[in-house]
Amino acid sequence: MLPNAARVKSVGEAAEIAAVQGRSLWSDARTRFFKNKAAVVSLIVLILIGAFALFGQFIAQYERDTVDFTLMGANAYQGVPSIETGHYFGTDSSGRDLFARVVQGTGISLMVGMVGAFVAVMVGTLYGAIAGYHGGRVDGIMMRIVDVLMSIPFMFVLILMLVIFGRSIFMLFLGIGLISWLDMARIARGQTLTIKNKEFVEVAHAIGVSPFRIILRHIIPNLLGIVVVYATLLVPSLIIYESFISFLGLGVQEPNTSLGALISEGASNMAYGVMWQLYFPLLFFVLTIFAFFFVGDGLRDALDPKDR
């Protein structure tokens, strides 16, 4: 067995060298992506926003839940954003530092978006790949279930769930995850249908690889491109969902906050001359969504051979 193992090792090394020299699908895609200026700028914006959410608390002069009682009733002219007072983004209506709150809100919104997208993509891809690979009756039943779930007005069911089982971030994740894997399942199934008739799957089948292993090792890696694109485009729409729910007061609960909750608060105080309470969360919301859309578009142009 030893010489055999040595040979495998050298073949592995040879493959490595070839990979460095050759132009793989991914390196091609990378070149294409970095040629797209809008996508690259958006990627930088996204990294900055991420850094803001992660490290913003170290810049903030106040804790996010410290209430400044001296501002009560005088918010409109004393809680104004300014560098001197240390309230860079001003204060909210309870006299809390808005900068620290926006930092946390951005963080939670990003987390909900990314974790939600991750869960949805995992479940959806696996489900779609299994349905597509098996075909026939299994496929029929699995996709019929997706059809049925899709025609349920999920926003209403989600609100119902949040009311009944209490408002928690876990419930929010569960509910949003339940909505969003459906599209992914459809896309993954469609791709699997074309992949499963390719020779390499046939070969794997012929040498007796188990169906589950074929799906995991041979089909899903080939779905990766479209999955990545879909995931980046899913994140902003999940952030919008979460903001919608938090806007209604059913999502993230005090003292925690998210961009949707902050926008809602700012919008309801609009008439009292404290516009900054709306401007700053709105700015971060719009920037984040924009950046994700552009990066997603850039990735699609780079990875999806159809639209080239």
Partner 1 sequence: MLSFVVRRLAVAIPTLLILVILSFVLMYAAPGGPFNSERPLPPEVLANIEAKYGLDQPFWQQIVNYVWRVVTAFDFGPSFQYKDRSVNDIIAQGFPVTLTYGFWSFAVAVVVGVSLGIAAAVRQNSWLDYLAVGITVGAQVLPNFVMAPILLLLFTLWLGWLPGGGWNGGQWEYLVMPVIALSTSYMASIARITRSSMLEVLNTNFIRTARAKGLPMRRIIWRHAMKPAILPVLSYLGPTFVAMITGSVVIDIFFSTGGIGQFFVNSAFNRDYSVIMGITILVGALTILFNLLVDVLYAWIDPKIRY
- Among the listed ranges 8-16, 64-72, 81-89, 157-165, the one in contact with partner 1 (CB under 8 A) is 157-165
The radius of gyration of the chain's CA atoms, rounded to the nearest angstrom, is 24
- In the shown chain, the binding pattern of residues 9 to 48 toward partner 1, with x for contact by CB under 8 A and - for none, equals ----------------------------------------
Q: How many residues contact partner 1, by CB under 8 A?
A: 38
Hey, what amino acid is at 215? Answer: I
Which burial class, exposed, middle or buried, applies to 71 when counting CB atoms under 10 A from its CB (0-12, 13-18, 19+)?
buried
In 3D, which of 238, 219, 36 has the Cα closest to residue 118?
A: 238
Whether the CB-CB separation of 112 and 239 falls below 8 Å is answered with yes
Interactions with partner 1, residue window 136-155 (CB under 8 A):
144, 147-148, 151-153, 155
The one among 260, 261, 274, 300 contacting partner 1 by CB under 8 A: 260
For 132, the token pair is 């597509």
Contact flag: residue 266 with partner 1 (CB under 8 A): yes
248 lines the binding site for partner 1 (CB under 8 A): yes
Return the structure tokens found at 222: 């080939």
The distance of closest approach from Cβ of residue 15 to partner 1 in the complex, given in angstroms and rounded to an integer, is 39
Does residue number 283 form part of the binding site for partner 1 (CB under 8 A)? no
Facing residues of 83 across strands?
none
Q: Which residues make Cβ contacts (< 8 Å) with residue 50, sequence separation at least 6?
A: 110
Residues making contact with partner 1 (CB under 8 A):
144, 147-148, 151-153, 155-157, 159-165, 236, 240, 243-244, 247-250, 260, 263-264, 266-267, 270-271, 278, 282, 285-286, 289-290, 293
